[in-house]
Structure 1
Amino acid sequence: MSTNRRVFIKNAGLAAIAAGIGTAIPMELLAAVKKSVSPNDKIGIGVIGVKGMGWADLSSMLKVPETQCVAVCDIDQNILQQRLADLSKISPLKPAVYTDYRKLLQNKDVDVVIIGTPDHWHCLIMTDACAAGKDIYCEKPLANSIYETEQMVKAAQHYNRIVQVGQWQRSQQHFKDAISYVQSGKLGKIASAKTWMYRGGSVALPVVPNTPVPAGVDYTMWLGPARKRPFNKNRFHYEFRWFWDYAGGLMTDWGVHLIDMVLLGMKAEVPLSVMATGGKFVFPGDARETPDLQTTLYDFGNFQMSWEHNMATGVGLYNMQHGIAFIGENGTLLLNRGGWEVRPEDKKLEPVAWQKSVDNGLNLHTSNFINVVKSREKEALHCPVEAGARVAINSHMGNIAVRTGQKIYWDKIKNRFNNTAANQLVKPVYQNGWKLPAF
């Protein structure tokens, strides 16, 4: 990677692509632009986990002219073959193929690693990638436990790596505008904030028997540090997010996106206490472990925040499926991925009509990451590892509160709870010979 990239990006047309407008540019034009980039200026991308968001992140990142996919890794040969075919349609370059991420990290052509695996793998892969000298784009939530997020921050700092977390709402202009309004003081004192996701359309996940491992799947590698258990399709691919061994349900799947905006707007870090209620109310007999209905209340000392989710109902608070509400003495600001507005309280301020979202957050986010990879100016990252860790910790706190059934208090000095049962859920136990990173 050379400094020529900084000159290259100044070209107006190419800067438009890098800014996230690539979706409006024909793929053949994009391919032609990429051909004009010197090999010395190429940024090699290796992606680990390519079925869902890993593929979405890669597709977005490839819209930046200097990038090229040089390596792909997945434990499922079926997914690998599908993505290799997809890549062949947009690039003649044939990437190296791996089923073990550690071998991908040894590839010297890989400058940047995308982590698109299930949550329970994020910490190991990210810390190993740091040690290998790679920069990292890690999907959210940053990790599957509070302890792991702490180690990931330490690893990024220790190895001085660029790490962006995939909370792409931070890159969208309407979110930035809404947060600026919150911080302007126009709402007056904000004593309450609400976040919610009402996931209408969900259906029960039927209990199914264990089966042999599907052909082409390295299931032992998929489990990694999680406890060993027979293969069950309910725990594999997308559905993994409903099982504690691998993820944290809607609290960490959607909660990190929405709670992140409250922490950003209120300049908050961690709460003094958390209490929660929830469980299997909507689909009591289905296979999921994580709550399908949950309400969590956070006390930050100068304001409180609530999180609600419902797996079956699609009409949430303020008639919005998902959203954030900053409730001030002068009015309420409502915000979601579609836009934002302000509803006055007794005509104490001017209303703000719905400000519609007009940009592509993911494209802007991956472009921001690549620009910082080139400049090495970490302060320009829209979601650095520290921000990703902060909201992941808050989301895990909500899950720990509901799992213990107790109001839990956080000790900022000891960086742990005042509760033995809660502390047992802070640090995972790695299985199958894998070692929990520690810095």
Structure 2
Amino acid sequence: MNHSRRNFIRSASTLMAGAGLVSALPASLQALPLRSVAASDRLNIAAIGINGMGWSDLTAMLKNPAAQCVALCDVDKNVLDKRVAELSQKGIRVKAYSDYRKLLEDKNIDAVIIGTPDHWHCLQMTDACSAGKDVYVEKPMGNSIIECRAMVAAQQKHSRAVQVGQWQRSQQHFKDAIDFVHSGKLGQVRLVKAWAYMGWMKSIPVKPDSTPPAGVDYKSWLGPATTRPFNENRFHFNFRWYWDYAGGLMTDWGVHLLDYALLGMKAGAPKSVMAAGGKFAYPDDAAETPDTLTTVYEYDHFNIQWEQATGIDGGPYGRDHGIAFIGNNGTLVLDRGGWEVIPEKGKMEGISRQKSVDNGLDLHTKNFVEVVKSRSLSDLHAPVQVGALIATTAQMGNIAYRTGKKIYWDNQKGQFTDNDANKFLAAPYHNGYKLPNVIG
């Protein structure tokens, strides 16, 4: 569907919100009333990077009758062939690409999902915007502070709908909890804690370098990252624990949970950041990023504290993840399952756990599809500005850890007051790739 026809379909059939975040295309997809939306009025969706969250995002998006998948792209032919076959079994025929740039040349594609490793997000998102595509990009939006700025500039220059995969922004119980925080009933909130205690994460055993698996275009997978011999530990899911490609738990879970800490406090950039931690649980394993970390963000009248620990489930308030707004009258504790208020004695009435009743990813992809059709970009639940703020905040925490210093942010200059910290503002690009030069 070309862009000039989008105004015509603003009144298309109501989008469906499915149930369950799954990693495989649900059998129920066959039963969706696709005929309720004329084929000419559906959005043509393509997915780039389809092994993990990219596939989950596509699965959720295809629950909407107004969306249809027309193309897939992955540098691992094994994954690509598998996903093409899964779609084919449901009667969905798609084009298959190994080079995302070729996919973006297809004028028939309206929007793309970017589910590749973090170090590819910026290049692919800015290229997609330049090609006139709307974009659903996985979190963290950017792999550096400078990348985040380039991605915001690209969206603004090309006026594309860009939704960042902060799907909790679409979940009702998160909204209700933040409304309660904003009501003032907790009293002055002086401390916010956010944490991820991941007991399921075990040690990653050291493995020797090897030849890339057959069907894997390893050179393309590396892209702008440092050229290194192939190692299984760095590939697919575990790329998250290596500085070349990502930022560990801070940019994996931290961007979700710290996002709500910032939203609840109506906070922007912190004044200062300090962090301490290391590889305390698995000191000799293959991962690079810390398995244990405490980070403190300083603001004028409150602090935000981040905690992460792998191999442990017993986090604060008996939860393995969450956000706690600690006020003079009581504490609101929020996680993916619900929220509650624990009162200070004699200060306020407590509130029993209010459970989640919806599916955030389904609602988030639905919101994206609706905005692509309506062109009301302000209706996006997690636009580039949201993604940039939280990715930048998470990067600040990692930079404080990597420098070993308390670092101060100059918001006017958009940099730290410390030269060592400023060296981490941009992720280095290699192999002939260059950071996008986006001029508004």
TM bracket, shorter-chain basis: over 0.9
Confirm or deny that 1:288 pairs with 2:287: yes
Corresponding residue for residue 12 of structure 2: 8
Confirm or deny that 1:28 pairs with 2:19: no
Structure 2 residue identity aligned to 1:353 = S
Identify unmatched segments of 5+ residues in structure 1. Answer: none
TM-score where L is the length of structure 2: 0.96
Identify unmatched segments of 5+ residues in structure 2. Answer: none
Corresponding residue for residue 185 of structure 1: 184
Q: Deviations over 1:360-397 (max 9, x none)?
A: 00000000000000111111111001001100000000
Distance 2:142 2:176 in 1: 29
Structure 2 residue identity aligned to 1:138 = V
Report the alpha carbon displacement of residue 215 of structure 1 after superposing the two structures with TM.
0.2
Report the alpha carbon displacement of residue 347 of structure 1 after superposing the two structures with TM.
2.4
Give the secondary structure class of the aligned counterpart of 1:8. Answer: coil
Confirm or deny that 1:51 pairs with 2:55: no
What aligned pairs does 1:202-281 form with structure 2 within 5 A after superposition?
202-281=201-280
Distance 2:202 2:79 in 1: 25
What aligned pairs does 1:145-156 form with structure 2 within 5 A after superposition?
145-156=144-155
Report the alpha carbon displacement of residue 178 of structure 1 after superposing the two structures with TM.
0.1
Instruction: Give the RMSD, CA atoms, in angstroms.
Output: 1.3
Give the secondary structure class of the aligned counterpart of 1:244. Answer: coil
Distance 2:380 2:212 in 1: 40
Confirm or deny that 1:74 pairs with 2:113: no
Structure 1 residue identity aligned to 2:237 = Y
Corresponding residue for residue 340 of structure 2: 341
8 Å Cα contact 1:22-1:63 kept in structure 2: no
What aligned pairs does 1:377-396 form with structure 2 within 5 A after superposition?
377-396=376-395
Report the alpha carbon displacement of residue 344 of structure 1 after superposing the two structures with TM.
0.7
8 Å Cα contact 2:325-2:333 kept in structure 1: yes
Report the alpha carbon displacement of residue 324 of structure 1 after superposing the two structures with TM.
0.2
Q: Deviations over 1:232-260 (max 9, x none)?
A: 00000000000000000000000000000
8 Å Cα contact 1:20-1:367 kept in structure 2: no
Report the alpha carbon displacement of residue 7 of structure 1 after superposing the two structures with TM.
2.1
Give the secondary structure class of the aligned counterpart of 2:11. Answer: helix
Distance 2:360 2:386 in 1: 17
Corresponding residue for residue 124 of structure 2: 125
- Alpha carbons of structure 1 residues 22 and 337: separation in structure 2 relative to 1, 3 Å: closer
Give the secondary structure class of the aligned counterpart of 2:187. Answer: coil
Q: Deviations over 1:149-188 (max 9, x none)?
A: 0110010001111000001001000000000000000001
Report the alpha carbon displacement of residue 227 of structure 1 after superposing the two structures with TM.
0.7
Distance 1:89 1:180 in 2: 44
8 Å Cα contact 2:29-2:62 kept in structure 1: no
Confirm or deny that 1:364 pairs with 2:363: yes
Report the alpha carbon displacement of residue 4 of structure 1 after superposing the two structures with TM.
4.2
Distance 2:148 2:180 in 1: 30
- Alpha carbons of structure 1 residues 72 and 237: separation in structure 2 relative to 1, 3 Å: same
Does 393-402 or 429-438 show the bigger shift?
Answer: 429-438
Give the secondary structure class of the aligned counterpart of 2:163. Answer: strand
8 Å Cα contact 2:20-2:359 kept in structure 1: no
Corresponding residue for residue 42 of structure 2: 42
8 Å Cα contact 1:115-1:122 kept in structure 2: yes
Distance 2:343 2:366 in 1: 36
Distance 2:417 2:254 in 1: 24
Moved over 3 A (4+): 1-4, 19-26
Structure 2 residue identity aligned to 1:390 = L
Distance 1:211 1:350 in 2: 60
